[in-house]
Amino acid sequence: MDESSLNRLLERVAAGALAPHAAADELRGFEDLGFARVDHARALRQGATEVILGQGKTPHQVAAIALALAARAPTVLITRAAEDIYQAVLEALPGAVWHASCRAITLRREPPPAGKGIVLVISAGTSDIPVADEAALTVDMLGGPVETLYDCGVAGLHRLLAERERLRSARVVIVAAGMEGALPSVVGGLVDAPVIAVPTSVGYGASFGGLTALLGMLNSCASNVSVVNIDNGFGAGFVAATINRG
């Protein structure tokens, strides 16, 4: 916390506009809701958008955390949210928007931070689109602009090779693929940019819920590939936006 921020904070306490307890929270960098220690310091460090993982929390918890964040940050992203979470958040924050394909909620009161190039999000198949959409939305909120290229799996290479120009013009590439997860290796060989591979749980039988795709990507023979968790479109988008802003 820089000095001017500190002064403003103390002035608000002096003016009765901020309770001493809340000021203490702020000085420590987080706000204690009992069930959550909302991390305001992170926002200052890692960009203006705050993120909440919806899964595993009650609608009430998510809404309360979102409200606490929205009191300070102009932009909030909630991932892996069920529809009842959206209802609770919408009540707390009327401007919240629902993104059905990837079950995310956004609150956006300022234009997002701009990156230095284009982030390209590629999906291997149609079924990988929800994960790819989560990645694209995250980039858009945290460091776009973002473009997408869907259903370019390796068994029909001409669908990918037809887009070589777009591939090479991207500053960062995200590739979402399930089943054997081979697409990042092929894309990695075609571009010079860093490739963030996100395995999806698309498949059946020996795809083991995305484990096969994950292992394939970790063993990629293309050296510019790094990997995030299965179905973690958000993580891929966050890493890509971080690189694109850097």
Give the residue with the Cβ less far from a second copy, 147 or 151: 151
Contact 52, 62 (CB under 8 A): yes
Site for a second copy in 146-175 (CB under 8 A): 150-159, 162, 171-172
Site for a second copy in 107-126 (CB under 8 A): 117, 124-126
Tell me if 243 contacts a second copy by CB under 8 A: yes
The contacts of residue 140 (CB under 8 Å, 6+ apart) are 112, 146
Q: How many residues bind a second copy (CB under 8 A)?
A: 94
Tell me if 226 contacts a second copy by CB under 8 A: yes
Give the residue with the Cβ less far from a second copy, 58 or 95: 58
Nearest-approach distance from CB 127 to a second copy, in angstroms: 3
Contact stretch for a second copy (CB under 8 A) within 2-10, 42-50, 87-95, 103-111 = 42-50
Tell me if 222 contacts a second copy by CB under 8 A: yes
Biggest CA pair distance of the chain: 67
Tell me if 46 contacts a second copy by CB under 8 A: yes
Say how far apart CA 101 and CA 117 lie, in whole Å.
25
DSSP 15: T
Query: Minimal CA–CA distance to 191: which of 160, 237, 145?
Result: 160
Dump the DSSP string for 104-130.
EEEEESSPPPEEEEEEEEEESSGGGHH
